[in-house]
Chains A and B, each alone.
Chain A
């Protein structure tokens, strides 16, 4: 069995499958840049299922309001306590939108309140160096002022490890394309996903 399997979280409310090309793109980057033994295809895992514990890094996104069921909250709480890392990305291009507000509420209810992750955190040098913190995207705020409005990613910590990583950067749009099209980019915009996976696998 491969060391790393990319898992997308399926939750009862909202549109959990709004970025279907992200898994393939991230897997391509992991295989392209690292020697991590990665499974060629990702999996979809229900948030309320104990199968979630088979994937210590999981990705959750969507546009619509998020309301976790009680089993989903319980599972997420235990998942983070055991050492799992949930990466949540707001797929909207807005500020303080519905997904953002409801996801923050649900994460706070299930795991704990989100707070800013310092831009010199080990996550930003886990593989590639991101000296200014999280890379900006061309989608969030249509590429204008993202770094001014969203200066940080947010997190819930479990000790000194990240348990929940929250992004308003809309990486779900940024990375949601076929991996073959990377050849048209001067700089691969999925490099930060390599840092995320490398951090999760080492810390």
Chain B
């Protein structure tokens, strides 16, 4: 009986040691469980996400959970001076768009695009508690615009409108046979402003060329090369029918339509202008504007450049004779035409510090997919690895077994 009790004490002691070993191994296994769990129920900022990503990359286990909305935004500079930005948003719910001064606009579920000028700070797109922030990653550097025309009101007011809209304009305006009046940079014309003998223009610094006259003459070859290399070309008014540029025009002038009226009041002031109706469109040409079903403005790509052909003539009358606001409308119209084709150099700007353009996508990219929040409470790192009773119990068993053995004279 006594020997059995001693064997029982030994077995119990070994069992306790095995239990202690299991607990220790379990504790070691638990050390590989998440050390950091972030909850983004109130949204996630770029700074927080970047901090957690740094923790993860330094050997810590970081997981996250929370309701980060599916919203992403991108801001691109408009290709017009001082025109601001075009913001494109994709979202699964309605969003509000703000800058640092306040609300700019709102977009319905699915997202959309909006044009915004004079934005202060970054765009903030709010969907619930999630805020996406972005500003343009690039800035557009626009070159100069060269206007080729004969001296006339159309040329004067096209130049004026573009300059008032912020474009830097050079001009070569034919005044008499063999004589042009040049304006703008010396680099563009090779001469100071004023009357100069005509010479082929240098187009290296230009983003676009506007042709308002049919007589382009020896400039045509340089313009064709310029467009194929990525430059923009606007063929407008009489220039829409320039024969020497027909090979790169998206359409042909088929006939001249008289103005529908001579008053510029009403919803369609351009209908009060004569129109070089366009037809015989090229295969890839896109019609941008029509008058009574007749193409009035058509565009297409030539090589790396773009060409827009606009048939409205005498648009200066719209500016001078139109209703209040027609000056600004005329400027915006011409700036839009040139901006549609102008070549732009995009220069990267620093946006790392403030960009959080797609909170969910960027968080998944940095920290992995969300992990459900753990059910149990996190273990106290200061809690003992083994239960406090284990050591006394083990000691008592070993002492009892030893005392029993010694009391009966066994070694």
Which of B153, B171, B316, B321 is the one whose CB lies under 8 Å from A50?
B321
Binary contact track B294-331/A, C-beta < 8 Å → 1, others 0? 00000000000000000000101101110000010000
Interface size class of B (residues with CB under 8 A): 20 to 34
Surface stretch bound by B, among A11-19, A63-71, A122-130:
A122-130
- Please measure, in the bound complex, the distance between the C-alpha atom of A37 and the C-alpha atom of B314, giving whole angstroms: 14
Surface stretch bound by A, among B12-20, B88-96, B175-183:
B175-183
Distance between B289 CB and nearest chain A CB, rounded to angstroms: 23
B321 touches A126 (CB 8 A): no
A200 touches B156 (CB 8 A): yes
Residues of A within 8 A of B173 (CB): 201-202
Binary contact track A71-83/B, C-beta < 8 Å → 1, others 0? 0000000000111
Residues of B within 8 A of A125 (CB): 194-195
In the complex, B174 has a CB within 8 A of chain A? yes
Q: Which of A36, A53, A83 has the most CB of B within 10 A?
A: A83
Distance between A7 CB and nearest chain B CB, rounded to angstroms: 12
A36 touches B151 (CB 8 A): yes
Scan residues 1-34 of chain A and give those whose CB is less than 8 A from a CB of chain B: 1, 3-4, 33-34
Q: Tell me whether A126 and B176 are in contact in the complex, defined as CB-CB below 8 angstroms, given that A200-B156, A202-B171 are known contacts.
A: no
Residue on A nearest B314 in the bound complex, by CB? A1
Q: Tell me whether A35 and B175 are in contact in the complex, defined as CB-CB below 8 angstroms, given that A122-B194, A126-B181, A202-B181 are known contacts.
A: yes
In the complex, B104 has a CB within 8 A of chain A? no
B151 touches A34 (CB 8 A): yes
A interface residues, tally (CB under 8 Å): 28
Distance between A11 CB and nearest chain B CB, rounded to angstroms: 19
- Please measure, in the bound complex, the distance between the C-alpha atom of A50 and the C-alpha atom of B175, giving whole angstroms: 29
Scan residues 40-80 of chain B and give those whose CB is less than 8 A from a CB of chain A: none
Q: Tell me whether A56 and B316 are in contact in the complex, defined as CB-CB below 8 angstroms, given that A35-B150, A201-B153, A201-B156 are known contacts.
A: yes
Residues of B within 8 A of A202 (CB): 151, 155-156, 159, 171, 173, 175, 181, 183
Which of B152, B179, B319 is the one whose CB lies under 8 Å from A37?
B152
Q: Which of B159, B171, B181 has the most CB of A within 10 A?
A: B181
- Please measure, in the bound complex, the distance between the C-alpha atom of A113 and the C-alpha atom of B183, giving whole angstroms: 27
Which of A4, A33, A50 is the one whose CB lies under 8 Å from B152?
A4
In the complex, B164 has a CB within 8 A of chain A? yes
- Please measure, in the bound complex, the distance between the C-alpha atom of A197 and the C-alpha atom of B393, giving whole angstroms: 115
A36 touches B175 (CB 8 A): yes
Q: Tell me whether A35 and B177 are in contact in the complex, defined as CB-CB below 8 angstroms, given that A122-B194, A126-B194 are known contacts.
A: yes
Scan residues 348-378 of chain B and give those whose CB is less than 8 A from a CB of chain A: none
Which of A129, A201, A203 is the one whose CB lies under 8 Å from B183?
A203
Scan residues 155-171 of chain B and give those whose CB is less than 8 A from a CB of chain A: 155-157, 159-160, 163-164, 171
B156 touches A203 (CB 8 A): yes
Distance between B325 CB and nearest chain A CB, rounded to angstroms: 11
Distance between B273 CB and nearest chain A CB, rounded to angstroms: 12
Residue on A nearest B178 in the bound complex, by CB? A35
Residue on B nearest A2 in the bound complex, by CB? B152
A34 touches B175 (CB 8 A): yes
Distance between B108 CB and nearest chain A CB, rounded to angstroms: 39
B150 touches A3 (CB 8 A): yes
A53 touches B152 (CB 8 A): no
16 A-B pairs whose Cβ atoms sit less than 8 Å apart in the complex: A3-B152, A4-B153, A35-B150, A36-B152, A37-B150, A54-B320, A56-B316, A82-B327, A83-B320, A83-B327, A125-B194, A126-B181, A127-B179, A159-B164, A198-B181, A201-B156
The 6 A-B pairs with the shortest beta carbon distances in the complex, nearest first, are A3-B152, A125-B194, A201-B151, A53-B320, A34-B176, A53-B321
Apart from A202-B173, A202-B183, 17 more pairs, CB < 8 Å = A3-B151, A35-B175, A35-B176, A35-B177, A36-B151, A36-B175, A54-B317, A82-B319, A83-B160, A122-B193, A127-B175, A198-B151, A198-B175, A198-B195, A201-B153, A201-B173, A202-B181
